[in-house]
Amino acid sequence: MASPPFPGDSDMAARMREFDWAGTRLGPPEAWPPALRTAVGITLSSAFPILLLWGPDFTQLYNDACRDLMGDRHPGALGHPNRVSWPELWAFLEPVYQGVYERGETFRFTDQRFMLTRHGQEEEAYFTLGYGPVHDETGAVGGILVTILETTGQVSARHHLQAQRTELEARTRSLALIEEFLQDYSANKTAYGLIHSLQELLTDYLPEGRMVYCEPDNEGWQVRSQVTARTEAGGTESDDSPWPHDAGWLQIPYETGRPYYHSGLPDDTQSTHAVAMLPVRWGSSVRGVFGCVCAAPEEWSPLQRSILEAAVRSLGLALNREHREDEAREHADAALLASRSRLHFALDAAGLGAWELDTHTQVAARTMRHDEIFGYPQGHPAWTYQTFIAHVLPEDREDVDRRYSAALERGEAWDFQCRIRRADGEVRWIWARGQTLKGVRGDSAHVLGLVQDITQQRLAEANAVDLNTHLELQVRERTRALEEANGELEAFAYSVSHDLRTPLRHIAGFSQLLHRHLGDTLDVKATRYLGVMEDAIGRMDRLLEAMLNLSRISQVSLQVASVDLGQLVEETRGELVDEAERRLVEWQVGPLPQVTGDPAMLRQVMANLLSNALKYTARQEKAVIEVWAEERPDRWALFVRDNGVGFDPRYADKLFGVFQRLHRQDDFEGTGVGLANVRRIVTRHGGEVSATGQPGEGATFGFTVPKARANS
């Protein structure tokens, strides 16, 4: 009896040795078929997560790397049917398993999303999965080899970046709001008409609900303008019923001059769950409150707040036209005000503050957004250059001051990034740029500029650098591990193929001894049994020889020389004379060139392609085999076409895989390794392989190789 097929000292190898396999559909390991034993060895030897499913009920075996992905299903999943362990995924897995197990198909899924119950809770996870058949000694599919790579981290990172891009696009779209608002500016002759237009525009940017503009009087709060998103907008709506003075969500922004946001209000007469109330400055004081009352239970997002606050600031600027005393100047001021509104909204939407510094008095005029960046939401009473420089961190102060002096001396732009400490003590990054303006004496009398809080951008840049560095290290590590795993797999396949030949020769030898020993005493049935066994031994020997050849191709270095393909094809045809004997075969060989490559390996390529052409035309009364070459800029393309049984082009990608066959073993003998050897040899030469065909119409196989060099 053979020893249990659980090599190595890994945790899963130890568990498999201790597991009671006799109580499963697989039976005791000593009785397992060679194909299963080999597949288990490959699974345990791999550094990558591999799940092996065997038999019609897909009994599970897996390695240490896969164990870490199983979560709390481990160790109960070992030796049990896959459906029992993954019931929530069975609707996805069942058709895949049927395709592999019943039809020998292969599948690959990249970043496949699953909702898994893992570690005691349901979670969203992504995996890149490969499903391939494992053939047993009869050529039938005995099991399924599943390679697994969890990509949840990479997919989450991509989703996060996409969300950031979406938010940026939304901010860009919001700039259209002020453009549309300002187009209606001159058409509205009253302040309330302007407010109503803004309310109508905002219904496309904010959650469904009601927008109101309220002002206080002696009787309470009065609704001056109202728009409901559910109804078609009409004229200015009003509500004659007063609102109580103690309504905090109106009183707070009116008294503090600050926006008020709240969610989760009690459900009184309507489903009201979210409120945003913003003070509207009309002149130097707060005149009313602009609000949005929504049924949405969620919090107000930063983007929604930005849109509301920018719109209300622009509204306040527009409303100031009522304070113009001279009607003749009112229209000119309105145009200027519209321009400033456009500029202020653009600056606010982009998070920019504007400032203008008088270099003689060192006093600066600036926008409210400028003061907010430095931590003064109500504004700073008197901003000077000394006020600014005091907010700059000492580590950055000298560089900022030096750049300022240089800009004044040379009349250049003052452009810098630095860290500031806001009025509330928080440290933030800012970017500022100022342009010097000449005075009447030719000196730099003013500096006009912008300032922006770039803390989030700096953090995002740092996170992106860290993420890219982490991903690059992961790719390098996984590439190295994959190269090592491929090398180990090649060595393992070579070792398995080599080691299996010794017991196979013993079986063959003892079979022949048994045949001679029994001699004439063998009856017909015994003779047939021995014949079947000897045929199976021969097929296994050819299969092992094919596996050894496949392993040698990757290990032997190329002996590059100039190769005459015409002579190579003629010699190969001579070697195939026995296969063409007693058959009508027409060879159509065109002129073939000199190429650069390993003569022995290219001979093996031509031998495989010509031998296949002879084999798959065996049922034709007259076989026609064509060989020709086509010249490309830096290489030659060689083709072999036959009029044989052909193949279904949907499965063309499988032809060059190891042990992949599109025809039954009983119809056409073979190991399923020949074309895999062709692809490996051509790839090592820097070329590519191709295959085209139709059932019953023959097939064409091709490959490319470099042209012969002048010094070859």
- Does residue 530 fall inside a structural domain? yes
pLDDT at position 54: 93
Q: Phi/psi at 592 (nearest 5 deg)?
A: -120, 145
Amino acid identity of residue 535, one-letter, is D
As a whole number of angstroms, the distance between CA 302 and CA 179 comes to 21
pLDDT at position 238: 42
**Whether 520 and 587 share a structural domain:** no
**Whether 436 and 491 share a structural domain:** no
**Whether 578 and 687 share a structural domain:** yes
pLDDT at position 354: 81
Give the domain CATH number at 437: 3.30.450.20
Residue that finishes a domain, picked among 453, 472, 505:
453
- Does residue 161 fall inside a structural domain? no
Please say whether the beta carbons of 186 and 207 come within 8 A.
no
Please say whether the beta carbons of 60 and 79 come within 8 A.
yes
Please say whether the beta carbons of 687 and 536 come within 8 A.
no
**Whether 524 and 592 share a structural domain:** no
In this structure, which long-range contacts are made by residues 526-532, counting pairs with CB atoms below 8 Å and at least 24 apart in sequence?
A: none
**Whether 421 and 477 share a structural domain:** no
- Does residue 157 fall inside a structural domain? no
- Does residue 4 fall inside a structural domain? no
- Does residue 2 fall inside a structural domain? no
Give the domain CATH number at 305: 3.30.450.40
CA 512 to chain centre: 59
- Does residue 100 fall inside a structural domain? yes
- Does residue 162 fall inside a structural domain? no
Domain count, the chain: 5
pLDDT at position 318: 72
Residue that finishes a domain, picked among 493, 517, 552:
552
**Whether 372 and 328 share a structural domain:** no
Q: Tokens 């499963």 sit at which residue?
A: 24
As a whole number of angstroms, the distance between CA 291 and CA 299 comes to 15
Q: Tokens 């491929």 sit at which residue?
A: 486
Residue that finishes a domain, picked among 493, 520, 552:
552
Q: Phi/psi at 292 (nearest 5 deg)?
A: -130, 120
Q: Which tokens belong to 315?
A: 């509204």
For the full predicted model, state whether its pTM sits above 0.75.
no
β-bridge pairing 274-282 and 623-631: unpaired
The residues near 8 (Cβ < 8 Å, ≥ 6 apart) are: 44, 45
The residues near 569 (Cβ < 8 Å, ≥ 6 apart) are: 589, 592, 606, 610, 627
**Whether 199 and 144 share a structural domain:** no
As a whole number of angstroms, the distance between CA 126 and CA 111 comes to 5
**Whether 523 and 474 share a structural domain:** yes
Q: Tokens 């180990």 sit at which residue?
A: 488
CA distances (Å), 276 to each of 212, 248, 293, 300, in order? Answer: 10, 12, 7, 8
pLDDT at position 108: 92
What is residue 2's DSSP assignment? P
What is residue 701's DSSP assignment? E
Bond from prior residue into 75 cis (ω within 30 degrees of 0): yes
Q: Which stretches of the chain drop beneath a pLDDT of 50?
A: 1, 186, 231-242, 244-246, 267-271, 325-328, 492, 497, 710-712
Sign for the CA dihedral angle at 318, 319, 322, 323 comes to: negative
Q: Which tokens belong to 306?
A: 């930005």
The residues near 546 (Cβ < 8 Å, ≥ 6 apart) are: 671, 672, 673, 674, 677
Domain that holds residue 418: 353-453
Q: What is the 3-state secondary structure (H, E, C) of 322-352?
A: HHCCCHHHHHHHHHHHHHHHHHHHHHHHCCE
Please say whether the beta carbons of 355 and 364 come within 8 A.
yes
User: Measuring CA to CA, which residue among 61, 144, 62 is closest to residue 101?
Assistant: 144
For the purposes of burial, counting CB atoms within 10 Å of the CB of 1, is it exposed (0-12), middle (13-18) or buried (19 or more)?
Answer: exposed
Please say whether the beta carbons of 100 and 141 come within 8 A.
yes
The residues near 517 (Cβ < 8 Å, ≥ 6 apart) are: none
Task: Give the bridge partners for 436, in sequence order.
Answer: 447
pLDDT digits (tens, 9 = 90+) for 645-670: 888 888 777 777 665 555 555 555 65
**Whether 269 and 393 share a structural domain:** no
What is residue 81's DSSP assignment? B
β-bridge pairing 623-631 and 585-589: parallel
- Does residue 158 fall inside a structural domain? no
**Whether 481 and 390 share a structural domain:** no
Amino acid identity of residue 634, one-letter, is D
**Whether 297 and 440 share a structural domain:** no
Task: Give the bridge partners for 132, in sequence order.
Answer: 145
As a whole number of angstroms, the distance between CA 531 and CA 401 comes to 97
Amino acid identity of residue 104, one-letter, is G
Q: Tokens 């060139």 sit at which residue?
A: 593
Strands in 229-351 per DSSP E: 239-243, 260-263, 274-282, 285-294
Give the CA angle between residues 485, 108, 545 to the nearest 5°. 50
As a whole number of angstroms, the distance between CA 337 and CA 345 comes to 12
User: What kind and span of H or E run contains 315?
Assistant: helix 302-319
**Whether 227 and 323 share a structural domain:** yes
pLDDT at position 391: 92
